[in-house]
């Protein structure tokens, strides 16, 4: 099996709770926040996480965001943006979180967001139909002011 295929299968398995910890270690090489912050991903797991953002299963999308939140990498930003409009509120909320949270990231250093991205988060804070999503976005806005 090719490396790409192996990582794609690991991403599929993020849908299932039972083996999730093992799957995460196999995928990104760490499980706890402190170790995740030191992870530098190879191209195959990185691409597999990006692919996972468009997975049909919302749990998989959420977990890919979760891992991206901890393994901060600015090249993920353009792939996370469309999930601000995901049909599932929990996923939209976590997309806002992954883009805007500092605490989970290496050295607590948040991603450098462009003005355009900040404006999109601002729109989410005003217009998202789900209050929890708006709250997450509003918390980010406060942090910038
Ligand atoms: Zn976070």
Cα distance between residue 35 and residue 39, in whole Å = 7
- Measured in Å, residue 129 CA sits from the centre of ligand 1 at 22
pLDDT (tens digit, 9 = 90+) per residue, 9-29? 999 999 999 999 999 999 999
Rounded to whole angstroms, the Cα distance separating 103 from 69 reads 9
Residues contacting 3, CB < 8 A, separation 6+ = 44
H helix count then E strand count, the chain: 9, 0
**Average pLDDT, rounded, for the chain:** 94
Q: Rounded to the nearest whole angstrom, what is the distance from the C-alpha of residue 137 to the centroid of ligand 1? A: 13
Residue predicted with more confidence, 133 or 40 = 133
Q: Tell me the percentage of the chain whose pLDDT exceeds 70.
A: 99
Domain count, the chain: 1
What CATH number did the domain enclosing 140 receive? 1.25.10.10
Ligand 1 center to residue 8 CA distance, Å?
A: 24
Say yes or no to pLDDT of 141 above 90: yes
Distance 127 CA to ligand 1 centre (A): 22
Structural domain of 104:
3-144
CA–centroid distance, 110 to ligand 1, in Å, is: 9
- Judged against a pLDDT cut of 80, whether residue 48 lies above it is answered with yes
pLDDT band per the 50, 70, 90 thresholds, residue 6: very high
Ligand 1 centre distance from Cα of residue 72 (Å): 9
Buried b (16+ CB within 10 A) or exposed e, 80-117: bbebbebeeebbbbbbbbbbbbeebbbeeebbebeeeb
CA of 105 to the centre of ligand 1 (A): 7
Q: Is 62 exposed, middle or buried (0-12, 13-18, 19+ CB in 10 A)?
A: buried
What's the gap in Å between 101 CA and the centre of ligand 1? 5
How far, in Å, is the centroid of ligand 1 from the Cα of 75?
Answer: 17
| The pLDDT value given to residue 57 | 98
pLDDT in tens, 54-78: 999 999 999 999 999 998 889 999 9
Q: Quote the pLDDT of residue 132.
A: 98
What confidence tens digit (pLDDT) does each residue in 73-92 have? 899 999 999 999 999 999 99
Q: Mean pLDDT, to the nearest integer, of 117-130?
A: 97
């Amino acid at each position: 099996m090719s490396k790409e295929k192996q990582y794609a299968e690991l991403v599929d398995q993020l849908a299932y709770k039972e083996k999730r910890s093992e799957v995460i270690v196999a995928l990104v090489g760490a499980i706890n926040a402190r170790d995740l912050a030191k992870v530098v991903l190879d191209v195959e797991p990185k691409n597999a996480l990006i692919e996972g953002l468009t997975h049909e299963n919302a749990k998989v999308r959420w977990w890919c965001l979760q891992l991206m939140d901890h393994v901060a990498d600015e090249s993920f930003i353009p792939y996370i943006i469309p999930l601000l409009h995901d049909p599932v509120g929990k996923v939209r909320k976590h997309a806002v979180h992954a883009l805007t949270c500092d605490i989970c990231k290496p050295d607590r250093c948040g991603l450098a967001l462009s003005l355009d991205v900040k404006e999109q988060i601002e729109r989410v804070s005003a217009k998202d139909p789900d209050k929890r999503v708006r709250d997450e976005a509003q918390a980010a806005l406060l942090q910038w002011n």
